[in-house]
Amino acid sequence: MHIYKANLLFTKDSTSFTVIPDGYVAVDSGTIAGVYPRLPDELSGIPVTDYGNKLLIPAMIDVHVHAPQYRNIGIAMDLELLPWLNNYTFPEESKYADTAYAERMYRRFVRDLWRVGTMRTIAFATVHKDSTRLLMRLFEQAGMGALVGKVDMDRNCPVSLRETVADAIRDNEALIAEYAAPDALVRPIITPRFVPSCTPELLQACGELARKHNLPVQSHLSENRNEIAWVHELEPASLHYGDAYRRYGLFGATPTVMAHCVWTAGDELRMMRDNQVMVAHCPTSNFNLASGMAPIRTFLNEGVPVGLGSDISGGHDLSIFKVMVYAIQVSKMQYCQNHHLPFLTLPEAFWIATKSAGRLFGKVGSLEAGYDFDALVIDDSELNHDNYSLLHRLERFIYLGDDRHIVHRFCRGEQIAEPPIA
Ligand code: GUN
Ligand code: FE
């Protein structure tokens, strides 16, 4: 057992922050045993790490990011989704056939996730088994939690990224066998890229793999209008884009995350709610690829689970703190267009990024008894000029702070050191 003392801020629900000035978190074998405003007598004598006036908050969770697009972060924003994939993204992902290249880039990616305080990540890799395994190893060596997907695709992509259904099954089975423990920090996630790049046979095979091994699923859904029109042509028997996944066992049969859902409404939205499919909200990507504004207020009202994704390199900022800010800002523009849609509050955005997103990892994303101790210690002394309240200090860090202010990082109780890039 170990005890940490600091100013604690977290969101038990979406309505408000719980703020405990000079509070105590007791951690036992990676799990939070209790959170206290004053140290209970029975815990006196247990070692305490005192972080003084610093803030201690849950660590960030990125529920949608493409690790092999890290080289393209912040460039090539001049196209919409489908030509963007063909011109910039697929050529870059093809390079990951080379594991030496993959190692160089993936090390920087994992190091930078560490920097921005993201301790749990749901990542797309590429079709390549060996470089996908490498990414899993790097997360494992770092001690950071991740669901990592070997991407599956067998049509409408360059030959260098195209696999057969048999290859996809074999390579997934190999990785699944190596990462079989259900409570491991790093686990596989079944990852058909999106309907346009997967034949019905491949989608079917992915659904069977997910069910057979009880593994989560991730993909993309209703991001861009040209993409959606194309899916209607490719899948005429499906009611809508989401139904195309459902028909193959990829829409909530096991825990499922769908990125974007910008144009999701009506029956597709109800199907997400009924199957508890999580939306990975990626506002920066939706701006950069001119995809649109996802109806997050409606998702929350209807009870569809939501998390935040950086979606590098459609998105340009790896920090989930900054993605929170964009999520609030886009909701304010939606509110300007329709006053029946109240904009997101800061506690809502924080809750979405932590406790709501964390359900994909078990009990993760809050400072409550029974949760994994995933936390960041923030030294905002340089930002805290005027005796702000603890809530204003956190808000200012979220809007103006960066990795220089994150002084300690914990994942499942372990303090996580900077992962080496070489
Ligand atoms: N849809 C299919 N692949 C991708 C991708 O790599 N990024 C985004 N934003 N959308 C996609
Ligand atoms: Fe994506």
pLDDT by residue, tens only, the chain of 422 residues: 999 999 999 999 999 999 999 999 999 999 999 999 999 999 999 999 999 999 999 999 999 999 999 999 999 999 999 999 999 999 999 999 999 999 999 999 999 999 999 999 999 999 999 999 999 999 999 999 999 999 999 999 999 999 999 999 999 999 999 998 989 999 999 999 999 999 999 999 999 999 999 999 999 999 999 999 999 999 999 999 999 999 999 999 999 999 999 999 999 999 999 999 999 999 999 999 999 999 999 999 999 999 999 999 999 999 999 999 999 999 999 999 999 999 999 999 999 999 999 999 999 999 999 999 999 999 999 997 788 999 999 999 999 999 999 999 999 999 999 999 98
User: At 265, is the secondary structure helix, strand, or coil?
Assistant: coil
Tokens describing residue 197? 């790049």
CATH architecture observed for domain 60-361: Alpha-Beta Barrel (3.20)
| Dmax (CA) of the chain | 67
pLDDT of residue 385: 72
Domain residue ranges in the chain: 2-58+365-415, 60-361
d(CA 332, ligand 1 centre) in Å:
25
Determine if ligand 1 sits within 6 Å of the CB of residue 64.
no
What is the C-alpha to C-alpha distance for residues 275 and 260, in angstroms, rounded to an integer?
17
CA 27 to chain CA centroid, nearest Å: 24
Residue range 2-58+365-415 forms a domain whose CATH class is: mainly beta
SS3 readout for 68-87: HHHHHCCCCCCCCHHHHHHH
- Atom of ligand 1 at shortest range from CA of 314: 9
**Best of 220, 245, 291 for a ligand 1 pocket test (most atoms within 8 Å of beta carbon):** 220
Q: Which of 176, 241, 243 is nearest to 214 (CA)?
A: 176
CA distances from 372 to 143, 214, 227, 257, 334 (A): 13, 22, 38, 21, 35
Burial of 387 (0-12, 13-18, 19+ CB in 10 A): exposed
Instruction: Confirm if 289 and 88 have CB atoms less than 8 A apart.
Output: no
Helical packing angle, 129-142 and 165-178, nearest 10° = 20
Helical packing angle, 390-400 and 320-337, nearest 10° = 90
User: From atom 3 of ligand 1, which residue's Cα is the shortest distance away?
Assistant: 193
pLDDT of residue 303: 98
What is the C-alpha to C-alpha distance for residues 144 and 311, in angstroms, rounded to an integer?
18
Tokens describing residue 54? 């610093």
What is the C-alpha to C-alpha distance for residues 323 and 309, in angstroms, rounded to an integer?
7
Task: Tell me the ligand closest to 122's alpha carbon.
Answer: 2
Q: Phi/psi class of residue 79: alpha, beta or left (left: φ > 0; alpha: ψ in -120 to 50)?
A: beta
